[in-house]
Amino acid sequence: MIPFLGGEERRREINLGGSSSVSSSAAILDRARARRIEREELRKRLESAVKIQAVWRGILESRRIRRNLYEIFTQNITDITGLRCLALIGRDEAVLGQWSKAVTSNGNGSLLRLAQGPDRESWLVLIRQACLLLLQSIAGTPQSDHAVSHLQILCTLMDESILTQALGPDGQYATATITDYLAKRDLYHYLSTAIQAISIESKNAVVLPYIIKLISLSISTVSEPTIGLPQYLPAFFLHILAIPLLPYRIPLKSLTELSARIPLTSLHILSPHISTIVASASLVSRIHLIANLLAFTPPRYSILPAPSLSTYLQLLTTLMNSLPIFALDASETPGPGAGPSDWVDDYDSDSDAAPQVSVVTSFTAQAVLPRLDLRTRKRLQTLPSSSHLNALLKASQRYRGVLSDLMSFLLGVCIIWPAQRSKVLGSVLVYGGGGIVREIYREHVRNSPLGQNDNPATLMEPAHALWWHPLIFLVDLYTQSLLTMSDDEFFSNSRTSLSLDELILFSRKLLNIAFTLYWKEDQTKVQEDGVSGLNLKWGSVRERITRCLQAIHAR
């Protein structure tokens, strides 16, 4: 089309509203922010690149140095230079295997030769580090090709008789120094890891006798005054005696050796550390610790001194009270609708009452109980057995101060294992003709501040915690005795039971306690809080006392 005739192809676009090339302040700020972010990202990328390059250069340099150290090591394996290279190289399975094979090939001569020369001080420092590397290697791969030679070296260096024979008086110091160094760096944790890494079916594994010997040697060494047993005994109980199925994992000869070396006569040293041991152990570890204690300790009840027997009972009691109800026999777990107090009461009821509707007081999920293997459950059956309880009662008769700890222990068994409650209480009543009822009342309950008319408000205070254990146990024990006690025995002043005057005072004390717990303004505390040191709520205490009063009133 001809342009001057008005064609649209050459027509110029005109914006009558006008346009501006000046940017707004918001746009300027956005562009500045974007450029700043871009510069910041560029700076970070540069810094990251520099760090990566530095790390890579460090890795290359480390590899070069390790290659040089390895070359020096291979030329001086049994010399002090080789030992220095071993400590600097660190955790290298091949290097550790070469060294342990070389120093054990000629007996103890190559291992202890440097301990007698001019480099003996350097040797003692370096050999400790080498022992730690060997220990870590054993924990990681206990059935490797070099594990036996590693363990042979450790057993030699921790055997005081061998080092004393080779080094003279310096041997005892060297053994104590090496053992102390390893014990401070989780010796028992590493040995426990090694034992558990071996299948329980591999009971005859060649490394197990060496590991048990190493445990026995360490116990003997740390028991000496120069090191001090209190520092390491808690770790031994926490890591070694908490190994699942420990008696079934090791050969019989090694089991006998370990049992003889456990410092049960020095258990009183463990008393300040009981709460730490229980808090550090998992739920399953606590159960296995109880089972292993029941495997090793009962044959030595008769020789335990009073402080050790008390500490042993305190440890078992604390362990049991830290467990959920029925944790020792999960097969007896009640239905999900039952509350804790119902679990206990169901085993005390002789009637076929109709089902009742109960009010849910807590929506907190119940603890998941661990599944125990048959052998552990069989071992735990020792706990409420009559023979075991009779052995404890006989041992406690030799020491007057042990009875309070024994009552706490027996009460703990009744609480944590409701199905065995009648069996436990019956065994206690049968032993000695039942005179323990009167003994507990006269020595531990009659003069207690609980149930006094002048202190109802302070009944649940922590200051009275120690008085509750014998009182609750006596309540359960006397309630159980009334099930089989004849009227003639009840009304007579029998030497094996409470007299009528004592029964009146005891009933009045229980009535005051029950009245206070029922009329407590804050019932939430009664339902949710419990007795200090027991896995027992105040509501359950109130029910036990009420049942005892009803049984007495029925007579």
Q: What is the DSSP string of 482-515?
A: HTT--HHHHHS--TTS--HHHHHHHHHHHHHHHH
Specify the amino acid at residue 456. Answer: P
Strand, helix or coil for residue 278: helix
Q: pLDDT tens digits for 20-77? A: 555 678 888 888 899 999 999 999 999 999 999 999 999 999 899 989 999 999 998 8
Could you tell me the pLDDT band of residue 339, with boundaries at 50, 70 and 90?
A: very low
Per-residue pLDDT averaged across 298-324, rounded?
Answer: 95
| Among 65-74, 242-251, 460-469, the least confident range | 460-469
Q: Which residues contact 356 (CB under 8 A, 6 or more apart)?
A: none
Per-residue pLDDT averaged across 312-337, rounded?
Answer: 80
Question: Would the pLDDT of 193 be above 90?
Answer: yes
CB 448 within 8 A of CB 467: yes
pTM strictly above 0.75: yes
Could you tell me the pLDDT band of residue 338, with boundaries at 50, 70 and 90?
A: very low
pLDDT of 10: 61
Nearest alpha-carbon partner for 246 in 230, 264, 259: 259
d(CA 68, CA 85): 10
Q: What is the DSSP letter of 225?
A: T
Neighbours of 103 (CB within 10 A): 25
Question: Would the pLDDT of 347 be above 80?
Answer: no
pLDDT of 526: 64
pLDDT of 548: 87
Q: On the CB side of 518, how many CA atoms lie within 13 Å of its CA? A: 11
Tokens, residue 390 = 């009779």
pLDDT of 414: 94
Could you tell me the pLDDT band of residue 17, with boundaries at 50, 70 and 90?
A: low
Backbone φ and ψ for 530, nearest 5 degrees, come out as: -135, 175
Q: pLDDT tens digits for 124-135? A: 999 999 999 999
d(CA 530, CA 76): 66
Backbone φ and ψ for 537, nearest 5 degrees, come out as: -80, 160
Q: pLDDT tens digits for 160-187? A: 999 999 888 889 999 999 999 999 999 9
| Among 191-200, 241-250, 344-353, 485-494, the least confident range | 344-353
Q: Which of 52-66, 340-354, 478-492 has the highest mean pLDDT?
A: 52-66
Q: On the CB side of 290, how many CA atoms lie within 13 Å of its CA? A: 33
Radius of gyration (Cα) for the chain, nearest Å? 36
Q: pLDDT tens digits for 215-236? A: 999 998 877 665 667 888 999 9
Residue of 212 and 524 predicted with greater confidence: 212
Percent of the chain residues past pLDDT 70, beyond the cut: 83
pLDDT of 11: 62
Q: Which of 22-31, 335-344, 405-414 has the highest mean pLDDT?
A: 405-414
CA torsion 390-392-396-401 (nearest 10°) is -130
CB 100 within 8 A of CB 120: no
Buried b (16+ CB within 10 A) or exposed e, 257-292: bbbebbbbebbbbbeebbeebbeebeeebbbbbbbb
Percent of the chain residues past pLDDT 90, beyond the cut: 54
Question: Would the pLDDT of 280 be above 50?
Answer: yes
Could you tell me the pLDDT band of residue 83, with boundaries at 50, 70 and 90?
A: very high
pLDDT of 363: 47
CB 476 within 8 A of CB 414: yes
**Cα distance from N-terminal residue to C-terminal residue, the chain:** 129
pLDDT of 118: 87
Mean pLDDT of the chain: 85
Q: What is the DSSP string of 281-301?
A: S-HHHHHHHHHHHHHHSGGGG
pLDDT of 25: 82
| Among 162-171, 200-209, 274-283, 361-370, the least confident range | 361-370
Per-residue pLDDT averaged across 421-441, rounded?
Answer: 86
Could you tell me the pLDDT band of residue 447, with boundaries at 50, 70 and 90?
A: confident
Residue of 289 and 457 predicted with greater confidence: 289
| Among 110-114, 205-209, 259-263, 409-413, the least confident range | 110-114
pLDDT of 125: 94
pLDDT of 330: 60
Could you tell me the pLDDT band of residue 16, with boundaries at 50, 70 and 90?
A: low
Strand partners of residue 530: 537
| Among 169-178, 337-346, 403-412, 488-497, the least confident range | 337-346
pLDDT of 485: 77
d(CA 269, CA 47): 56
pLDDT of 241: 96
Give me the residue spans of the domains in the chain.
Answer: 53-262
Tokens, residue 111 = 């291992």
Question: Would the pLDDT of 366 be above 70?
Answer: no
Per-residue pLDDT averaged across 137-147, rounded?
Answer: 94
Nearest alpha-carbon partner for 477 in 513, 506, 454: 506
